[in-house]
Structures are given as structure tokens and as C-alpha cells.
Amino acid sequence: MPAGAEAPNAGTRPLPVPEAAGSAASMLRFRCDEVGCVYESRSGAIHALQNVSFAAQGQEVVSIVGPSGCGKSTLLRIIAGLQPPTTGRVSFEWQGRAEPPRCGLVFQEAGVFPWKTVLDNLAFGLEMCAVPRAERVARAMEVAVRLGLNSFLYHYPRELSVGMRQRVDIGRAFVADAPLLLMDEPFGALDAQTRRVLQEELLAIWQASRKLVLFITHDIDEAVLLADRVIVLSGRPGMVLDEIQVPLTRPRDLSLDRSRIHEVTRHIWQLLEADVRRELSLPR
Ligand SMILES: Nc1ncnc2c1ncn2[C@@H]1O[C@H](COP(=O)(O)OP(=O)(O)OP(=O)(O)O)[C@@H](O)[C@H]1O
Ligand SMILES: [Mg+2]
């Protein structure tokens, strides 16, 4: 198919029932116990995280907020098993075993494969799981429609805008349909309107698939809008300042829930403001 051609419409039927749905999901748990991370650098040791403990399970959406540089990405990489903690441990329980499940990852900087088309990028996780091509393509197209990428299925990442590349990265995690979704500021590179639409899309996809989602964001409103619980980290070294249960029911309604979201947001900002200013060396 030539570049720019519209792919066959995959329709808007609901996403397939994933592994995490139903009773199996309640068996997914993970916990961080006293996790710490120290990086050695030429200018000395950087204490990125200290004594971070929290747990998540089942179908929760947990947001993590904290000042820039407080170790959020480091924490996500440790939970994903991409780097070991310096101290403490991360443990999983999945389907009765003490091992991590497959996880979908969205990195802060879009991690798309430049040599693969949008379609092949989206289907990559399924390819790794040896899912037959026809099924991979069908599922990738379904997500492409939801993320507004279906006119670009046969384009390469260099032909996309930054925000579109980020959508491909997000879409790949959705298509892979893993029980655990780890997202590091997935909407950071998007404009405000796209961001809002994709926040609603993430809520809809979560509603259909009920994954355990860990979502890092610098946007406190977004953290509250999406999550059941918000973990607030201090400035570096990142320590848990508070865990806040979000008092909103699901499905969330952006227009109705605004004022309640704002109340929680204000509380979180009060916790964070001094550390954010310290990080930027600004007076209070
Ligand atoms: N590979 C590394 N080597 C040395 N220091 C690192 C490394 N990765 C991160 N750091 C340092 O660890 C600290 C935490 O970094 P991290 O990227 O985890 O923060 P963050 O909270 O994700 O920040 P941001 O909100 O800006 O994305 C920073 O001071 C950073 O300079
Ligand atoms: Mg980061």
C-alpha cells in the first residue's frame, strides 16, 4: 500500500478480552520494599531514590508524581526489571508464582523502531509472542483507529510528527495487551488537545481491559484524573511523601469531575511545591 493510503478500517469493536481480565487479574500484585538507587557519577554519588515502599494489585491505576529529577523514571525502570535497585527489592506475584508478568512499556522518549512502519511498530509486542500475522495486524489496526493513526499505518517514524510517534509508542503497549502497563510520561510530548483525547482513550481502554497500570506524569491533574491512587514522591532522593486515594468513581467524567479533581490536585501541590522550588533553586 502506498504511503499515506488509508488502511482498511478496523472498525471500533471493543478490544479483545486480555489476560488481565477476570479473576487472573486479581492475582497480579507487586510491591516495592525500601527501594533505593544511587548512581555513581564523575561528580560523586547521585542519590536518586531512597526507601521507596508501596504496593499495587489487580486492576488498579496508580500514578506517580514528583519533582523533575526525583527518580520517577529510575523507579519505573527498576520495576520493569531493566535495572536493579541499589537497595531494597521489587517482588511480583502473578498467577500464583513469584515472578513478573509480561509488561507493556511506554518510555518518556518515544521508543519506536525507525526501520519499521507504524503498523509493524504497533504489532511488535505480538510478533515477539509469535501471534500469527493476520491477528497481529487486526489488533494493531484496531488500536491505530483508536489513536488516530490509521491513515499512517504504512509510514515510517521519520515521516511522523513527535506527537504521532509518541502515539505509536503508546499504541504498541496497548496492542501488546500485557497484564501490567508501565507508562513514563506517555503524553508528555503531546499537545493539550491530543493529550485530553488520549487521556479519555486510556480511560476507555482501561475500562475494557482492566490492566494494572503504573503511570508516571508531571501533570498532577492528569495523575488524579486517571488514577485510583497517587503516590507523591519528594524531591531527590525520591521518597514517598504520601499515597492519596482518589475519591472519584469510574467511569470518570472529565466535565463532571473537574472540581473534585481540582481539590485533590491542590492538596498534592501543597505537598510538592517546596520541593519543586528547591529543585529549581527558587525561593518560596
Ligand atoms: N544512568 C544514569 N547515570 C547517572 N545518573 C542518572 C542516571 N539516570 C538518572 N540519573 C540521575 O538520577 C536522578 C533521577 O533521574 P530520573 O530520570 O529517574 O528522574 P525523573 O524523576 O524521571 O525526572 P524527570 O521528571 O525530569 O523525567 C537524576 O538526578 C539523574 O541525573
Ligand atoms: Mg523521567
> Span 82-102, mean pLDDT?
93
Closest ligand to C-alpha of residue 234 is 1
Which residues have CB less than 5 Å away from ligand 2 (the ion)?
72-73, 108
Residue 67 has pLDDT above 80, yes or no: yes
Separation between Cα atoms, residue 112 and residue 134, nearest integer Å:
21
Residues 199, 226 contacting (CB under 8 angstroms): yes
Read off the pLDDT band of 229 (50, 70, 90): very high
What is the length of the chain?
284
Domains annotated for the chain, with CATH where assigned, are 22-279 (3.40.50.300)
Contacts 24+ apart (CB under 8 A), 122-131: 122/149, 122/168, 122/171, 122/172, 122/175, 123/175, 124/172, 124/176, 125/172, 125/173, 125/175, 125/176, 125/177, 125/178, 126/175, 126/176, 126/177, 129/102, 129/176
> What is the predicted pLDDT for the residue at 198?
82
| Mean predicted confidence (pLDDT) in 222-247 | 95
Question: Among 40, 42, 46, which is best to mutate for testing ligand 1, by the most ligand atoms less than 8 A from CB?
Answer: 46
Q: Which atom of ligand 1 is nearest to the CA of 71?
A: 18
State pLDDT tens for residues 136-193.
999 999 999 988 899 999 999 999 988 888 889 888 888 888 899 999 998 887 888 8
> Taking the model in full, what pTM does it have?
0.86
Burial 86-107 (b: 16+ CB within 10 A, else e): bebebebbbeeeeebbebbbbb
pLDDT at residue 72, rounded to an integer: 96
- Tell me the best of 43, 50, 74 to mutate to test the pocket of ligand 1, counting ligand atoms within 8 Å of each CB and taking the most: 74
The yes-or-no verdict on residue 37 having pLDDT over 50 is yes
Q: In 3D, which of 152, 127, 131 has the Cα closest to residue 141? A: 152
Distances (CA, A) of 4 to 18, 141, 155, 252, 279: 31, 15, 7, 35, 45
Give the Å distance between the CA of 235 and the centre of ligand 2.
13
Ligand 1 mean position, distance from CA 243 (Å): 22
Which ligand minimizes its atom distance to the CA of 39? 1
Grid cell 491477528 is found at 135
Cα 219 to ligand 1 centroid, rounded to whole Å: 18
Residue 120 has pLDDT above 70, yes or no: yes
Report yes or no: 218 and 235 within 8 Å, Cβ to Cβ.
no
| Whether residue 77 has its Cβ less than 6 Å from ligand 1 | no
